[in-house]
Structure 1
Amino acid sequence: MLQGRNIIGFEVSAKGEQTFRSFSTPLGAYLPEHFHIATDEEIKLAIKKATIAFVIFSKISFIQRAVFLETIAEEILNIGDFLLERAHLETGLPLPRLTGERDRTMNQLKLFATLLREGSWADAVIDTAMPDRKPLPRSDLRRILQPLGPVAVFAASNFPFAFSTAGGDTASALAAGCPVIVKAHSAHAGTNELMANAIKKAAERTGMPDGVFSSLNGEGAILGQRLAMESSIKAIGFTGSYRAGMSLYATVTQKRKEPIPLYAEMSSINPVVVLPETLSLKTSEIATVLAGSVTLGVGQFCTNPGLLFLIRSKASDAFIESLVAALSNVPAATMLNQQICKAYYTDRSRVIQTKGVKTLFCGNDQGNEYKGSPTLLAVNAADFMLEPSLQDEVFGPCTLIVICDDTTQLETALQTLHGQLTGSVFGSTDELLRYSSVIDILQQKTGRLIFNNVPTGVEVCHAMVHGGPFPATTDARTTSVGTEAIRRFVRPVCYQDCPQELLPLYLQNENTAGIMRKVNGIYTRDAI
């Protein structure tokens, strides 16, 4: 069923002699299929097709785009259990988790379809002409969001469905009217091929232009940098390491003649603050919940709680004992791939050896079996603030407790934090009000502020923000999850005194699509 080929619009291609194979951590061996690395000729063809397709696809109605997205979801479901089984072999993720992630991926495609059908996302604004206005007349001015152009999407390792080939970046870019070229993740190339074929079939079924979607295979940074330098690529969606993200950022902002936006989600350790009164009242309960969050998915979530802030007390000592007990009961589990497993133990050792860090619990190194074991470390706030490297992400089931002497030191330590995707606070309403300064600090540092819950678990909905200040992302004004993600791939265009026949459908007087528009300062669905 798998061919190991690149998907270039409606073609499949394997012109290159260089190939690679995906390694299976559950099997401890390479899988048999060989995947052909895209040649320069194939990359150029994908770019050319996407550029031509953009002219057509950008003008396709919102409803047609919605049908396309809904059909992608159908085709993903049509793959059946083979998709789940292949993803399990390539990532080590359990089948129930993958089943849920597949459903989430299909649902977010449907969510963007719903957004397109409703239409107000396009921010259509009309200020009609005022020819008799004194002292100067006003022209007819109409504004709407228009797609940027072809988008490159880099598949993520830890979410083979939801943040990869047909994931949120692809869904939001296609919804915006932008053709997509996916750089497949080499760790789950078979899963990528299955998903890419589903998108290809959906594009053919719904009459989309050839080149609206392509998927290219490639190892390392070579393919990524090649796509980033292409002048026809107008934006990039990326989820991955800080190092790779910043390398791409340097390319798109410094090496290209025309800089483009890079929406990169890179590094977050998601601080959790447990306020003292709540800690004393719910010691065991919070320890159990946090242990589950730290080890969920073997800690391979961008929202994994990597820092816990406590104020020193008898309750904090009891909490640490409970957390150690909870973590010690969690067995080591298979990690995504060889590189991630190796990096986890390397980074864990680095933190353990850092001055001032105390090991509270350290599971055995099971790297030979590609399994990650839980780790709990602690450091005094004074030492934490002196060592910036303690804010480097350890991608796996490891967390560091920062013990503060008092509220002032807690606030000072929080002020030193880098930008994060999330920040969590456990406390009663009265306690939260008394510690409002802590909340204010976290608000400045994070994209999502969570009360009395753990950061793992990201709802796909209209209100979600999955982004944050640097280095969590390269642009804190955006989100990669939820319907607001569509705004990354559009720009406002104003039409002045444009004939009705040339206006975009959604700015014409009749408003046949019935979308919500702002006309002369008032929101309405009425025609003009």
Structure 2
Amino acid sequence: MTLSGDLLIGGANVRGSAATFAAVNPANGSPMQPSFAGATREQIDQAASLAWDAFPVYKETSLEDRARFLEAIAEGILALGDELVLRAIEETGLPRGRIEGERARTVGQLRLFAKEVRDGAFQELRFDPADADRKPVAKPDLRLRNIALGPVAVFGASNFPLAFSVAGGDTASALAAGCPVIVKAHSAHPGTSALVGKAVVGAVAISGLPRGTFALLFDVGFEVGQTLVADHRIRAVGFTGSRRGGTALMKIASERKQPIPVYAEMSSINPVILYPNALLGRGAEIGKSFAASLTLGAGQFCTNPGLIIAIEGAGLDAFIESAAATLAEAPAQNMLTGGICEAYRKGVARLLAASSVSLISSGKNGTAHQASAALFQTTAAAFLANPELQEEVFGAAGLIVRCHDDSELRRVVESLEGQLTIALHVDAEDVAAASQMIPQLELLAGRLLVNGFGTGVEVSPAMVHGGPYPATSDGRSTSVGTLAIYRFLRPVSYQDFPVGLLPTPLKDVQAAARVQK
């Protein structure tokens, strides 16, 4: 498929009229062809207008047609074959195995949501029959269903060019809910985005859906995203990125005449709490596993384990020795963009300059386009006194907080901001102590795990990829798993409607009654 660098609006290629830009190969800093042109306000308006026109039709498509549409997107992505894989490798510097795995995850998400749509339970159909004889007031006939919110603006993520991008989890769940989607592609991988966008447009056409069901816009700056969020026809936002970016969009959304929800996944340092008996029995083993998790993908995961909390002792010393030795052999790695690499280096430099922090180990040096892993340590007292030590360093940098005793460890945990994940490493003898901590941890994170690290996020009906602010803007939601569909729905109750006026799903009283039971 020839890449044109065009926007995708109304099912057609449209040349952007704003500033042009090109993807940059992160391995060598060289620009790639073709150039991509950003969307103007007029082109954003066109996409939003088409999405709004498509909404009343698309939201009432049959569940089977909507499920087949999601499956058609999955098939279209697979049909791109190596063209997609090679372009994604070139634009991100990620290895083939990572890209192929992410493609499989993207396709799997779409198929999972197709299954969820066919099941229909997300509609939450409820029927409460009338009772004319009820005293002192007759009881009305009430029926309820969830409906789609409206067109959704989705922002592609820098660190997942497929699974959190054009046809990733936000797009899949919004389309599953019945919402048209306008994607603002990430400027780091526009070619990858364009290829996937073409697959979605093809699925729209094959499925006979309104041409405004999907659009793909480019921009080298912030204007497209800001304009989309402010547009009165956009009714929700899906975002994965920095805290600064997420809070900026939240501000725009809250200042609209009709504020809208922004589901932003932002920052998390994903604490790991190491309990004494686990450390004594297998501190070295845990240290090696931690180092592998910290450096996976150059640490460019939102669930990267950036903070270790443990009580001082021989077990912690064994953990540190093992982790330090493993990290010292870790090769420098390409980061996704020059900007991300520079931000990581500044974060490491900030920790190096902190008087209360010391460097334990660092990885091997690399080229100007690569970053080396780094592991630091500090005391619990210093961590509690310096809130800036909680700031995320996006990349393979970790900080160990050494605590004198369990009381100090608990104070450190109580000081934490909201997180995506918190991991516990325990042996049988630690369970009693750890169980006392669980109620506190439930208030801090969306996912708790034992004897592992959060870097693997299973796409599952039981997964929560979210957490209290600032991990996300709304800790009641998830961006991974089938519960993600509920972000883009709202309930509507229909009172005393004649059958002819009822939406199709609520006309079958017996079926609705069975759901209610």
TM above 0.5: yes
Taking the aligned partners of 1:111 and 1:44, their CA distance within structure 2 comes to 32
State the one-letter code of the partner of 1:183: K
1:120 and 1:517 in contact (8 A); partners too: no
- Equivalent position of 1:359 in the other structure: 359
Q: Flag the 1:517–1:447 CA change in 2: closer, same or farther, 3 A.
A: farther
Give TM-score, length-normalised by structure 2.
Answer: 0.98
Q: Tell me the residue number matched to 2:55.
A: 54
Aligned to 1:321: 321
TM superposition shift of 1:518: 3.4
Partner of 2:500: 501
Q: Is 1:518 matched with 2:503?
A: no
Instruction: Answer whether contact 1:345 1:365 (CA < 8 A) is retained.
Output: no
- In the alignment, what sits opposite 2:467? 468
Inter-partner Cα distance in structure 2 for 1:443 and 1:416: 14
What is the aligned residue count? 516
CA deviation after TM superposition for structure 1 residue 17, in Å: 5.4
Q: Secondary structure, in 3 states, of the residue corresponding to 2:260?
A: coil
3-state DSSP class of the match of 1:227? Answer: helix
CA RMSD of aligned residues (A): 1.3
Deviation per residue, 1:219-272 (Å, 9 max, x gap)? 121111111110000000000011111111111112x11110000000000000
Structure 1 residue 275 corresponds to structure 2 residue 272: no
Cα-to-partner distance string for 1:48-68 (whole Å, 9 max, x where unaligned): 100000010011111111000
Match of 2:435 in 1: 436
Q: Give the aligned partner of residue 490 of structure 2.
A: 491
Say if 2:284 and 2:321, in contact at 8 Å, map to a contact too: no
What residue in structure 2 maps to residue 120 of structure 1? 121
- Name the amino acid aligned to 2:134: R
Matches within 5 A, 1:288-327: 288-327=288-327
Q: After superposition, where does 1:71-220 map in structure 2 within 5 Å?
A: 71-220=72-221
Structure 1 CA distance for aligned equivalents of residues 304 and 18 of structure 2: 40
Q: Is the partner of 2:432 in helix, strand or coil?
A: helix
**Alignment CA distance shift 1:173-1:17 (3 Å):** closer
C-alpha spacing 1:508/1:29, structure 2 compared with 1 (3 Å): same
Report the TM-score, using the length of structure 1 for normalisation.
0.96
Shift, 1:364, TM fit: 5.2
Contact 2:9 2:216 in 1 (8 A): yes
Equivalent residue number for residue 418 of structure 1: 417
CA shift, 1:437, in A, is: 2.7
Q: Please show how residues 55-70 of structure 1 align to structure 2 within 5 Å.
A: 55-70=56-71
Give 3-state SS (helix, strand or coil) of 2:211's partner: coil
Residue 282 of structure 1: SS of its match in structure 2?
helix
8 Å Cα contact 1:119-1:515 kept in structure 2: no
Q: CA deviation at 1:430?
A: 4.0
Cα deviation, 1:385-438, whole Å, max 9, x if unaligned, reads 111111111011110000000000000010000000000001024412223232
Tell me by how many angstroms 1:84 deviates.
Answer: 0.6
- How far apart are 1:287 and its partner, in Å? 1.0
- For residues 361 and 512 of structure 2, the distance between their equivalents in structure 1, rounded to whole angstroms, comes to 57
Q: 1:331 to 1:165 in 2, by over 3 A?
A: same
- The code of the aligned residue for 2:481 comes to G
Determine the structure 1 residue equivalent to 2:331. Answer: 331
Separation in 2, partners of 1:466, 1:371: 29
Does the residue aligned with 2:127 lie in a helix, a strand or coil?
strand
Q: Could you list the per-position Cα deviations for residues 116-141 of structure 1 after superposition, in whole angstroms to 9, with x for gaps in the alignment?
A: 11111211111011111122211110
Structure 1 residue 28 displacement after superposition: 2.5
Alignment of 1:389-400 (within 5 A): 389-400=388-399
* Contact 1:124–1:517, Cα closer than 8 Å, also in 2: no
Alignment-mate amino acid for residue 160 of structure 1: P
Letter in 1 for 2:316: S
Distance 2:318 2:439 in 1: 28
Take 1:466 and 1:17, find their aligned partners in 2: how far apart are those partners? Answer: 35
Kindly, what percent of the aligned residue pairs are identical? 47
Q: Please give the per-residue CA displacement for 1:477-521, whole angstroms capped at 9, x wherever unaligned.
A: 00000000000001000000112122222212266xx689533xx
Name segments (4+ residues, structure 1) moved above 6 Å: none
**CA distance, structure 1, for counterparts of residue 195 and residue 367 of structure 2:** 29
Aligned to 1:13: 14
What per-residue deviation string (whole Å, max 9, x for no partner) do you get for residues 147-197 of structure 1?
000000000000000000000000000000000000010000000000000
Alpha-carbon separation, structure 2, partners of 1:7 and 1:509: 39
Specify the code of the residue in structure 2 equivalent to 1:387: N
- Write the letter of the residue equivalent to 1:379: T
Where 2:443 maps in the other structure, the secondary structure is: helix
Alpha carbons 2:271, 2:421 under 8 Å: kept: yes
CA distance in 2, matches of 1:105, 1:337: 22
Given that 1:411 and 1:441 are in contact with CA atoms closer than 8 Å, whether structure 2 keeps it comes out as no
Q: Tell me the SS of whatever aligns to 2:175.
A: helix
Corresponding residue for residue 236 of structure 1: 237
Offset at residue 41 of structure 1 (A): 1.7
CA shift, 1:319, in A, is: 1.3
- Could you tell me how far apart the structure 1 residues matched to 2:15 and 2:505 are? 42
Query: What SS is found at the alignment partner of 2:106?
Result: helix
Aligned to 1:526: none
Partners of 1:351 and 1:440 in 2: how far apart?
31
Please identify, of 357-366 and 236-245, the stretch whose mean Cα deviation from structure 2 is larger.
Answer: 357-366
Aligned partner letter, 2:62: S
